[in-house]
Structure 1
Amino acid sequence: MSRRAFTRLFRRETGLSFMAWRQQACLLCAMPRLAAGEPVTSVAIDLGYENPAAFMLMFKRAFGSPPLTYLGLRNTEARN
């Protein structure tokens, strides 16, 4: 299968580009680890990001705030 055919099939089946799908998969893997207190650096490196800054930028674009701020806000909302 050619790359172009795969790209079209992937988008048709998932509704997402491969990069968008990968980003969502990374976020789904990262959330429980970050919530459990794992360092952002460890999570970012394990998920294949070259550095934590790249991971934090992707996270901020997806959720509107950096990982620790986002998790702090979610924990505060859960307590109220």
Structure 2
Amino acid sequence: MSIPLSTLIEQADSAFELKDFQSAIQLYYQAHQPSQQDAEIAHSIGSCCYMTDEIESALKWLNYAVSLNDQDLYLHNSLADILSYND
């Protein structure tokens, strides 16, 4: 029996808020379904990667999030923040 997507995201969000980024990343990975192309989940994975110093993975996921929703300024700003911090 699989865990509903909404439950996975809620659990991942809770772990993120508690700064348990490793747990959050695993839950977001479980919630990520390439067929749905969810920019918010991709952004969340990228944010977790950044918080665990996985900069290359963070950039990959945030670029992917932007590619899924290039009209979302929040996604662009998140990507720009990481790029500016790592120059």
Scaled to the shorter chain, the TM-score interval is 0.3 to 0.5
TM-score by length of 1: 0.34
Larger-Rg structure: 1
